[in-house]
Structure 1
Amino acid sequence: MKNEIEERFEDWKGREAIPGKHGGIGPAAIACVVEVMENIVFVANGFNFVEYFMSSMHYSPATAANMVTNFMGTTFLLTLLGGFIADSFLTNFTTFIIFCCLELMGLILLTFQSYSPKLQPESDKTPSTLQATILFTGLYAMAFGAGGIKASLPTHGGDQLDRGNPRLISRFFNWFYFSICCGSILAVTIVVSIEESKGWFWSFTISAGTLALALFIFMAGCLDKAMLNKNISAIEVAETRTFLGLLPIFFSTIAMNCCLAQLSTFSVQQGMIMDRKLFGSFEIPVPSLVAIPLLLVILSAPLYDYFGKRISLDISPSFNLYRIRLGLALSSFSMVIAAIVETTRKYVAVHYDFKISVLWLMVQYLLLTVADTLAFGGMLDFFYREAPSNMKSMSTALGWCSTAFGFFLSTALVEVTNTITGWLGHQWLGGEDLNETSLELFYVVLFVLNTLNLLNYNFWMKGY
């Protein structure tokens, strides 16, 4: 029996969408603009939280690192919930609005806490029960909100375009990832600089204002033009099998995101004890290091789009599968570089009492950023075009969910590594001073894990 999904698109009032009037490049472009603003908020706080937890909330470095990876992992994991809600109960349009409001409320709560000294622990004391409750309530309200946004927004943008034009859809996801990078680079330069110069209250306030503006733009610009996807038929067995067929590819990308997690945890902690001075007295904020590779990614996106329109690029599933494989390979190599840099940094610091330049971290930042560009961009495009029509939000959420499991895996690896090495007499990642840890050996463990994972991916890629 022929298995088809009939789709109906409607406007925000529930009326049938009119081709030419609803949808198209305009509403899709608004999704990209909104993504820039939302990612400014998410990245600025994600990269800054490790310092906030240590300096303002007085958690230890290892605890702060795990808190960050747990927050990031939860956020990306919750994209599955957001995708399920968008596919099964609401439209992507409505899902975005609800979860954006939830993230905004979490930000407002954290802003209020950063403003009131009574809601912060005293010097050298950890947070009280009330202070910790406020912190984690705001933190995970943000996680729930961001998870729903990341599931619904790219699919909403893709739904505005003609399904019969895969090249246009591929170009959209290229520009959507370009928007992600633009938001990231603004976050790690402008917002991070404001936090260092003005303090956490202003950083959270600007984040809340930016997200509120994104919500306003989304509602004001899509209300009359956007098409909202409403599937008529039920999910059938063949479509479920199609979705399940994507899962081996999804699971094979988790280890790469475990490496990516280090950019917001241990790499930041390394940079904080390295020489950050540039051009005399100017000190570069450590999270801003990622701005340089992001600039390269941003410059490459228009070139990819330009040549993609003029030459016959392979847009088959295998094209994106090869993109993902290259990203996995680069992430594995980046851990070798990370281990060498940390070995050099620690040797010079211990034996010569000298701080090497923070720019030594740039190579691993560059490799991991390019790896993420290839793998995550490939996943978004691959999962969107390969998924059943009524499971596209959940399928694109798999890309974010891979990042979630990568961050959770990082947390687990830190705990397991400390437990095992503690039994042997010295915890690799224990203590307050990185010069007394064996972080370089942890990077070697990540290299081995990613190399084995690359072999696993090749097996599933050939069988797809």
Structure 2
Amino acid sequence: MHFQGYTLMIIQSHYKKLQPDPCNDSRCVKGGQALMFYTAIGLFGLGAGAIRGCVPALGADQYDQKNPKEQMQLSRFFNWYSLCTTLGGTIGITIVVWVSMHKGWDKSFIISLSCTLVGLIIIALGKPLFRVRIPGDSPILRILQVLVVSVKNIKEKLPEDSSELYENYDQESISNEEHLLHTDQFRLLDKAAIIPAGYKPAKWRVCTVTQVEEVKIITRMMPIVLSTIFVNTCLAQLQTLTVQQGTLMNNHIGSFKVPTTSIPVIPLIFMSILLPIYEFAFVPAARKLTGLPNGITQLQRVGIGLVLSSISMSIGGIIEVKRKHEILHHGKRLNLFWLSFQYAVFGIADMFTLTGLIDFFYSEAPAGMRSMSTSFAYLSWSMGCFLSTALVNATNSVTSKISDSKIGWLEGRDMNKNHVERFYWFLAILSVLNFINYLYWANWYTYKKDVPIISNEQNSLKARSDHTDETESDKTATPN
């Protein structure tokens, strides 16, 4: 899909007949031209979504979490994965953007397609060396089974002893390595593990405790996903507003002229520099203090990112006040370099949040649901972008009614008369409230519990051993 999307974009950007005539109307693209364009965008989005969801899980599966050394390397992998995606984004926003502006859009899409093909070839060459997990049932199907069976058994009474719930130790679990221990949250779902009288264990009639716990884990993750949407809303606004601000600023840094469309490269540069520092300096120092392999927990890492995003929005408001003051009172354009302050802080925030989320969702997810779970980080990102649009529309709608000019904070044509600084501070306040909400759910979250699979034969041997120990104890016991 990724390949097909790029191919359509190359064809349309190369042939003038497939492009709309120059116009100022945003709706001038219509008919077959619009169909081709949106088909390409749709294919590209679907392909990118599949790649981003699977690649982190595929890479992390190469590490054995039962091996302490490899388990420590797992978190390092996510840092290096983030560094690679950051470097790729840096190349895209600088070199590819330059090519599109000076050589043509078709040339820039050809470069992007070539990079995609090179990546595909590298993955194909490495396939014989990969640790490939045997596929199990569909994660969505397993979730549906628990939900359906729990509804079917809604009238069944839960046993007082959770050990009476059904668990099949002969059945190979989806992870083929572990069973999950029972937890007391979401007891209604436990009804899916009750064997109704007169029935034998069968799919869509009874589920194992492990299967029920998988659904509980996914359910516990949902508040974390929802609590991190707003940081991505801030990111979307930062990338949009700074490009608009950049058109009204001095974009010369020394003798070099920075293209306005390349402004979002600033946080990527900071992330490229800071990720190795985080890995080789921060993690070892934090590990000595906390004793944790990763220095801090994944949820603590995400929390730090949420705090920094609020600080970044506050700085953004201050920079906008200074920009407007310089141009309105002194007639001078503020240098583009000033935007690096808010971008630097947000780059650090993104380093903590995105990488921490991917690590968290992979480490906590049931073994057969890791690809789906790592996609939650990108689900949060996409929902944040949609929320960004809705928030701008809502802000303009409300502020246009209460302002004397009857113009919203962000909808005026003259950005120097708009109130972008107020919007930045509004985002900062919402970010603080979102962080408080996140703290609640992070403290509420219960980490998963797992145990190695024990076969029926092993259970039988253990039972015999326990019985022998009890007999020997009775023989050696002396009366009071």
Q: TM-score, normalised by structure 2?
A: 0.70
Shift in CA distance, 207/335, structure 1 to aligned 2, threshold 3 Å: same
Q: Find the aligned partners of 2:66 and 2:437 in 1 and give their Cα distance.
A: 33
How far apart are 1:220 and its partner, in Å? 2.4
Match for residue 341 of structure 2? 363
Q: Find the aligned partners of 1:308 and 1:226 in 2 and give their Cα distance.
A: 32
User: Aligned match of 2:22 in 115, 122, 126?
Assistant: 122
How far apart are 1:254 and its partner, in Å? 1.1
User: Aligned match of 2:237 in 252, 256, 262?
Assistant: 262
SS in 2 for 1:265: helix
**Aligned residue pairs, count:** 363
How far apart are 1:265 and its partner, in Å? 1.3
Q: Judge which range, 106-115 or 447-456, deviates more.
A: 106-115
Match for residue 419 of structure 1? 397
Answer whether contact 2:5 2:43 (CA < 8 A) is retained. yes
Answer whether contact 2:83 2:272 (CA < 8 A) is retained. no
Q: Find the aligned partners of 2:283 and 2:410 in 1 and give their Cα distance.
A: 46
Q: Find the aligned partners of 2:439 and 2:263 in 1 and give their Cα distance.
A: 35
* Pair 1:438-2:419 in alignment: yes
Match for residue 116 of structure 2? 211
Answer whether contact 1:323 1:378 (CA < 8 A) is retained. yes
Answer whether contact 1:188 1:291 (CA < 8 A) is retained. no
User: Aligned match of 2:433 in 448, 452, 456?
Assistant: 452
2:101 counterpart letter in structure 1: E
SS in 2 for 1:161: coil
**Structure 1, residues 135-168: CA drift from partner, whole Å, max 9, x if none?**
2221121111111111111101111221213212
Q: Find the aligned partners of 1:224 and 1:326 in 2 and give their Cα distance.
A: 37
User: Aligned match of 1:300 in 273, 277, 286?
Assistant: 277
How far apart are 1:337 and its partner, in Å? 0.4
Q: Find the aligned partners of 2:81 and 2:237 in 1 and give their Cα distance.
A: 24
Shift in CA distance, 279/316, structure 1 to aligned 2, threshold 3 Å: closer
Match for residue 465 of structure 2? none
Match for residue 179 of structure 2? none
Answer whether contact 1:329 1:454 (CA < 8 A) is retained. yes
How far apart are 1:347 and its partner, in Å? 2.6
**Any unmatched runs of 5+ in structure 2?**
137-171, 175-209, 446-480
* Pair 1:159-2:71 in alignment: no
Q: Find the aligned partners of 2:230 and 2:130 in 1 and give their Cα distance.
A: 40
Q: Find the aligned partners of 1:104 and 1:219 in 2 and give their Cα distance.
A: 15
SS in 1 for 2:24: coil
How far apart are 1:217 and its partner, in Å? 1.6
1:297 counterpart letter in structure 2: L
SS in 2 for 1:236: helix
Q: Find the aligned partners of 1:407 and 1:375 in 2 and give their Cα distance.
A: 16
2:112 counterpart letter in structure 1: S
Match for residue 5 of structure 2? 106
Answer whether contact 2:86 2:268 (CA < 8 A) is retained. no
Answer whether contact 1:184 1:294 (CA < 8 A) is retained. no
Match for residue 85 of structure 2? 180
Q: Find the aligned partners of 1:434 and 1:308 in 2 and give their Cα distance.
A: 45
Q: Find the aligned partners of 1:144 and 1:423 in 2 and give their Cα distance.
A: 39
Q: Find the aligned partners of 1:236 and 1:136 in 2 and give their Cα distance.
A: 40
Answer whether contact 2:271 2:351 (CA < 8 A) is retained. no
Answer whether contact 1:178 1:301 (CA < 8 A) is retained. no
Matches within 5 A, 1:61-76: none
How far apart are 1:342 and its partner, in Å? 1.2
* Pair 1:338-2:316 in alignment: yes
Q: Judge which range, 252-261 or 276-285, deviates more.
A: 276-285
1:195 counterpart letter in structure 2: S
User: Aligned match of 1:252 in 215, 223, 227?
Assistant: 227
Q: Find the aligned partners of 2:329 and 2:296 in 1 and give their Cα distance.
A: 50
2:428 counterpart letter in structure 1: F
Q: Find the aligned partners of 1:385 and 1:281 in 2 and give their Cα distance.
A: 44
2:265 counterpart letter in structure 1: S
Answer whether contact 1:114 1:200 (CA < 8 A) is retained. yes
* Pair 1:280-2:255 in alignment: yes
Q: Find the aligned partners of 1:172 and 1:201 in 2 and give their Cα distance.
A: 34
Q: Find the aligned partners of 2:318 and 2:135 in 1 and give their Cα distance.
A: 52
Q: Find the aligned partners of 2:254 and 2:294 in 1 and give their Cα distance.
A: 47
**Structure 1, residues 94-150: CA drift from partner, whole Å, max 9, x if none?**
xxxxxxxx0121122222222233313323344331333222221121111111111
SS in 1 for 2:89: helix
User: Aligned match of 1:239 in 203, 214, 218?
Assistant: 214
Answer whether contact 2:267 2:346 (CA < 8 A) is retained. no
Higher helix share: 1
How far apart are 1:253 and its partner, in Å? 1.0
* Pair 1:323-2:301 in alignment: yes
* Pair 1:398-2:376 in alignment: yes
Answer whether contact 2:400 2:407 (CA < 8 A) is retained. yes
How far apart are 1:288 and its partner, in Å? 3.1
**Structure 1, residues 296-354: CA drift from partner, whole Å, max 9, x if none?**
22432551598489968514896111111111000001111011111221232233332
Q: Find the aligned partners of 1:163 and 1:347 in 2 and give their Cα distance.
A: 55
Q: Find the aligned partners of 2:287 and 2:438 in 1 and give their Cα distance.
A: 31
Shift in CA distance, 283/267, structure 1 to aligned 2, threshold 3 Å: closer
Q: Find the aligned partners of 1:199 and 1:325 in 2 and give their Cα distance.
A: 42
Match for residue 30 of structure 1? none
* Pair 1:387-2:372 in alignment: no
Answer whether contact 1:259 1:446 (CA < 8 A) is retained. yes
User: Aligned match of 1:410 in 345, 368, 388?
Assistant: 388
* Pair 1:195-2:82 in alignment: no
How far apart are 1:423 and its partner, in Å? 2.6
Q: Judge which range, 115-124 or 390-399, deviates more.
A: 115-124
Answer whether contact 1:324 1:374 (CA < 8 A) is retained. yes
Answer whether contact 1:320 1:382 (CA < 8 A) is retained. yes
Answer whether contact 1:320 1:378 (CA < 8 A) is retained. yes
Shift in CA distance, 308/183, structure 1 to aligned 2, threshold 3 Å: farther
Q: TM-score, normalised by structure 1?
A: 0.73
Shift in CA distance, 344/308, structure 1 to aligned 2, threshold 3 Å: closer
Answer whether contact 2:79 2:275 (CA < 8 A) is retained. no
Q: Find the aligned partners of 1:173 and 1:179 in 2 and give their Cα distance.
A: 10
